[in-house]
């Protein structure tokens, strides 16, 4: 490894130590008073929940696992089809999977069961934590998803001659500007990657700014287009509507992955639309299920009959409700199948948006706000197709709702256009798999056999 990389890692760890000392009281407070951090801190330090040792140091590369890491829920969902394809292609080699958040862990536990040999929390980017977990796993390859890049982890892999890939890679305009300001640091970090599989040509061009035209960057497409729709029949939808006490013909708005500041806007829009469509129902899914109680209070205090999804008894809410607030994870896609109109959250306030392909895959008209930075290209495709509408405030949501609800023909065309976009851009899994298998084939030849 060159001296520049070592120097940068030393500086990074000195800054990390300095920040930890200065912020120590705050860090302790975050752990003590945050339930989700308190439950994961030991695991992320590598002091608990470390997976079993899969291959001894010195084992041949063919016996060592592939390690796939996804930051949270969104990345874990998008990488599902790749994980399934990878598991089938590398048998009997183990496949292990990590996440950084509790909600991501719970979703992966539900969705990836049977496709991974171990599920665990990604270590904090501290040298001792990274070393302990990575040496326990002893991977033949580390596959990072989208943009979760940590210097000590990359350094550890490079030091042990373990190839690292970044797949479904994206580099937003804001992130690109930040990396360019620290180009001396960024070029070193990106040099650790054996291959970068970018979502788009724009992303690929941005990555090449740091790694040059070396062939290490390819455009493989967006894995989100390769998600399979949940196999939901009309009967399944009717059963779900019945469980939520939604009557036949009753209009439904499903607002998914909402963040603080958005629910009040949705409340204003819902209040106006209810004046025109008295039977209208809203199913609202906060991005963080822990916020469900607060969201419940926003709507119930405004006079709407509101229920938490967890109050469903024997598959059915006992009384009719205007608003259902979802306080569980892993069912958003199924709920989008109920929608007459879908709103995708994290976009009216700047949380960079969430995945509009989830409702598009069910041929639903889609609304989202102006802050779709993480899904800019997808949002533009859906708008261009005529299947999605960008809204900026409650008034825009009301106008869009009137358009969608007033004419079933318009609603059907919008949904059909979204589904066409969803289907027309598939193929990223195959392209990404080709790159992964090429790197794996070289593992143990070009790269080291151990750590």
Given a cut of 80, whether residue 450 has pLDDT beyond it is no
395, 384 contact by CB (below 8 A):
no
Helices and strands (DSSP H and E) totals, the chain:
20, 14
Given a cut of 80, whether residue 142 has pLDDT beyond it is yes
Tell me if 395 is assigned to some domain. yes
CB burial class (10 A; 0-12, 13-18, 19+) of residue 428? buried
For residue 131, count other CB atoms closer than 10 A to its CB: 18
Tell me if 10 is assigned to some domain. no
pLDDT digits (tens, 9 = 90+) for 341-353: 999 999 999 999 9
247 band by pLDDT with thresholds 50, 70 and 90 = confident
Dist CA 227 CA 366 (whole Å)? 18
Does residue 264 sit in the same domain as residue 295? yes
pLDDT value for 297: 98
Given a cut of 70, whether residue 3 has pLDDT beyond it is yes
Given a cut of 80, whether residue 100 has pLDDT beyond it is yes
Structure tokens at 36: 């989700």
Given a cut of 80, whether residue 54 has pLDDT beyond it is no
Query: 220: helix, coil or strand?
Result: coil
pLDDT value for 61: 64
Tell me if 185 is assigned to some domain. yes
Place of tokens 């405004």: 302
Tell me if 186 is assigned to some domain. yes
Does residue 380 sit in the same domain as residue 432? no
pLDDT value for 451: 46
Does residue 181 sit in the same domain as residue 238? no
pLDDT value for 389: 99
Q: Which domain holds residue 369?
A: 234-424
Q: Considering only 227-236, 266-275, 353-362, which range has the smallest mean pLDDT?
A: 227-236
CATH classification at residue 384: 3.40.50.2000
Structure tokens at 88: 């089938």
223 band by pLDDT with thresholds 50, 70 and 90 = very high
Given a cut of 70, whether residue 60 has pLDDT beyond it is no
89, 66 contact by CB (below 8 A):
no
Does residue 294 sit in the same domain as residue 431? no
Q: Considering only 154-158, 246-250, 350-354, 413-417, which range has the smallest mean pLDDT?
A: 246-250
CATH classification at residue 126: 3.40.50.11720
Tell me if 345 is assigned to some domain. yes
Comparing CA positions, the residue from 60, 189, 80 lying closest to residue 432 is 80
Q: Considering only 39-48, 186-195, 208-217, which range has the smallest mean pLDDT?
A: 39-48
**Helix 428-442 × helix 80-90 angle, to 10°:** 40
Tell me if 4 is assigned to some domain. no
Dist CA 370 CA 204 (whole Å)? 24
Does residue 194 sit in the same domain as residue 45? yes
Structure tokens at 95: 């496949």
Does residue 71 sit in the same domain as residue 151? yes
pLDDT value for 318: 65
Given a cut of 70, whether residue 328 has pLDDT beyond it is yes
Comparing CA positions, the residue from 154, 152, 172, 171 lying closest to residue 163 is 154
Query: 406: helix, coil or strand?
Result: helix
Tell me if 160 is assigned to some domain. yes
Q: Which residues contact 57 (CB under 8 A, 6 or more apart)?
A: 135, 138, 450, 451
Does residue 142 sit in the same domain as residue 275? no
Given a cut of 80, whether residue 229 has pLDDT beyond it is no
| N- to C-terminal Cα separation, the chain | 14
Our count of domains for the chain comes to 2
331, 341 contact by CB (below 8 A):
no
């Amino acid at each position: 490894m060159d001296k520049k990389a070592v120097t940068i890692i030393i500086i990074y760890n000195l800054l990390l130590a300095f920040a930890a000392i200065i912020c120590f009281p705050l860090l302790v407070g975050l752990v003590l008073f945050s339930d989700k951090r308190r439950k994961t801190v030991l695991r992320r330090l590598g002091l608990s929940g470390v997976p079993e040792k899969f291959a001894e140091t010195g084992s041949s590369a063919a016996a060592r696992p592939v390690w796939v890491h996804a930051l949270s829920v969104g990345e874990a969902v998008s990488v599902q089809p790749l994980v399934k394809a990878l598991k089938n292609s590398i048998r009997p080699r183990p496949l292990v999977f990590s996440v950084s958040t509790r909600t991501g862990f719970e979703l992966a536990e539900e969705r990836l069961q049977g496709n991974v040999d171990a599920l665990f929390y990604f270590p904090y980017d501290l040298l001792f934590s990274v070393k302990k977990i990575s040496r326990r796993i002893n991977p033949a390859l580390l596959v990072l998803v989208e943009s979760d890049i940590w210097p000590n982890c990359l350094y550890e892999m490079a030091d042990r001659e373990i190839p690292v890939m970044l797949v479904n890679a994206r580099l937003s305009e804001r992130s690109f500007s930040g990396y360019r300001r620290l180009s001396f640091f960024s070029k070193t970090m990106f040099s650790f990657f054996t291959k970068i599989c970018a979502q788009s040509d724009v992303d690929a061009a941005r990555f090449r700014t740091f790694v040059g035209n070396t062939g290490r960057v390819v455009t493989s497409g967006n894995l989100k287009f390769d998600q399979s729709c949940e196999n939901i029949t009309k009967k399944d939808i009717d059963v779900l509507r019945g469980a939520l006490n939604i009557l036949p013909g009753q209009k439904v708005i499903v607002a998914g992955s909402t963040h603080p500041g958005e629910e009040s806007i949705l409340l204003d829009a819902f209040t106006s639309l209810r004046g025109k469509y008295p039977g209208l129902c809203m199913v609202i899914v906060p991005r963080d299920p822990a916020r469900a109680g607060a969201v419940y209070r926003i709507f119930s205090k405004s006079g709407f009959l509101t229920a938490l999804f967890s109050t469903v008894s024997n598959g059915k809410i006992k009384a009719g409700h205007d608003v259902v607030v979802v306080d569980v994870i892993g069912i958003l896609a199924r709920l989008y199948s109920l929608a007459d109109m879908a709103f995708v959250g994290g976009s009216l306030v700047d949380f960079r948006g969430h995945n509009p392909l989830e409702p598009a895959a069910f041929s639903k008209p889609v609304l989202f706000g102006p802050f779709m930075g993480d899904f800019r290209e997808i949002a533009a495709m859906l708008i261009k197709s005529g299947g999605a509408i960008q809204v900026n405030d409650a008034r825009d949501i009301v106008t869009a709702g009137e358009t969608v609800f007033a004419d079933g023909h318009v609603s059907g065309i919008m949904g059909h256009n979204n589904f066409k976009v969803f289907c027309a851009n598939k193929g990223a899994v195959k392209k990404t798999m080709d790159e992964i298998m090429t790197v794996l084939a070289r593992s143990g030849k070009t790269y080291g056999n151990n750590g």
